[in-house]
């Protein structure tokens, strides 16, 4: 679990890169590099206020270790007020 001050979604990851998605810490935030298709799905999920899961790692390995979960919550008191 990583806490971040901001999240950047970059939709320029090429499918030929061999990655499903890549995440990295940038300063005090998180950058998630995703394909254009995943970006379109993410945008639709945000419009519909639906949870969305991004699987990070190489496409050819079955052992995926990272996920970026975007979750909508009912109770805002438990979220970061800053």
CB atoms within 10 A of CB 30: 18
The string of pLDDT tens digits covering residues 28-65 is: 899 999 999 999 999 999 999 999 999 998 888 777 67
Domain boundaries, the chain: 6-70
* CATH architecture assigned to 6-70: 2-Layer Sandwich (3.30)
pLDDT of residue 78: 59
pLDDT at 65: 75
Look up residue 39 and give its two tokens.
């970006």
- Answer whether 24's CB lies under 8 Å from 68's CB: no
Q: What are phi and psi of 23, to 5 degrees?
A: -125, 145
How far apart CA 78 and CA 47 sit, in angstroms, is: 22
- Of the two residues 27 and 48, the one the predictor is more confident about is 48
The pLDDT of 12-22, averaged and rounded, is 92
* Confidence band, pLDDT 50/70/90 cuts, at residue 79: low
């Amino acid at each position: 679990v990583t806490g971040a001050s901001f999240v950047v979604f970059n939709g320029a990851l090429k499918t030929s890169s061999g990655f499903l998605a890549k995440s990295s810490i940038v300063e005090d935030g998180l950058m998630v590099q995703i394909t254009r298709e995943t970006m379109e799905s993410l945008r639709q999920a945000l419009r519909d206020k639906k949870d969305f899961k991004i699987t990070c790692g190489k496409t050819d390995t079955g052992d995926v270790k990272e996920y970026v979960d975007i979750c909508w919550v009912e109770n805002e008191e438990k979220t970061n007020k800053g």
